Amino acid sequence: MPDRSPTLAAQARLSHDLLQAVRRDAPLVQCLTNFVSMNYAANALLAIGASPAMVHAAEEAPEFARLSGAVVINIGTLSAPWLDSMLLTAGSAGRAGTPWVLDPVAHHATAFRRDAVARLLDLRPAVIRGNASEIIALAGGQSAGKGVDARDAVAQAEESARALAAARQTVVAVTGETDYVTDGSRALRITGGSPWMPRVTATGCALTAVVGAFAAVSRDDPYAAAVAALSCFGIAGASAHDQAQGPGSYAWRFLDALAALDAASLVRASPLRA
């Protein structure tokens, strides 16, 4: 077993405890997410042990946020009515002390999306999860992103992530070949996953939903929640890769791997790196 610093070992043990808490408590995670990701994100939440609720209508979503363990907002298929509901729901979550997670999908692509994300950021998400291009642009930098695709490496986004986390007093998770999580002072990298992940629709959106599940059981430490969620994805993703023949078989094998994930493996085979 490779040597790890006490900080990494302690974080791995915390991830172990948080996965056990998710499976014990089955937190209710309200997802205002895009049409493409609803089914896969819901299945990922069920596989990890949480309870999904795809409640997004403005007439009920803000009220439902007060009942939820966490709220996830994903702007992938944004529209004006959905944005109204997202803003109302994020505000309601904030007033109720319910942590909420933002997935700023392709926020830099159009003026409508840029304005939407600016307004959502002002409502103080506990965690922001995006690809490298999205995070660079969100921090005010110039990214090479095109639409929803990342054209920048995670390493290029690390400084942007730290600056954004510090400025917004939030946790930023940048996902890619090697993930990076920071709250502006603490930071960790997470290895694992699979090259098939970017070839399966909604894998990243599902990860954001799972971050919400962990945030629900780690309200005082969203950084630990993000690290634990990405660790689960890293280990389960690598496990599914070993048996998959392509993106089709990978999609269902990954859900199986999430469901079969042993909490002890988060310590035994920790994907955390300084």
State whether the Cα torsion 191-104-55-200 is positive or negative: negative
Q: Comparing C-alpha atoms, which of 120, 156, 114 is closest to residue 138? A: 114
Joined tokens for residue 262: 């042993």
What's the order of all strands across the beta sheet hosting 100-103? 51-53, 28-32, 70-74, 100-103, 127-131, 171-175, 179-182, 187-190, 272-273
Ligand-binding site membership of 124 (annotated): no
> What CA–CA distance (Å, rounded) separates 269 from 246?
25
| Residue 202 is assigned to a ligand binding site | yes
Ligand-binding annotation for 110, yes or no, is no
129: annotated binding-site residue? Answer: yes
Kindly state the helix (H) or strand (E) to which residue 62 belongs, with its residue range.
helix 61-65
Q: Are strands 179-182 and 187-190 parallel, antiparallel or unpaired?
A: antiparallel
What residues have CB less than 8 Å from 217, skipping those under 6 apart?
18, 21, 22, 25, 27, 69, 225
* Residues that constitute the known binding site for ATP: 129, 175
* Residues that constitute the known binding site: 54, 129, 175, 202
* Residues that constitute the known binding site for substrate: 54, 202
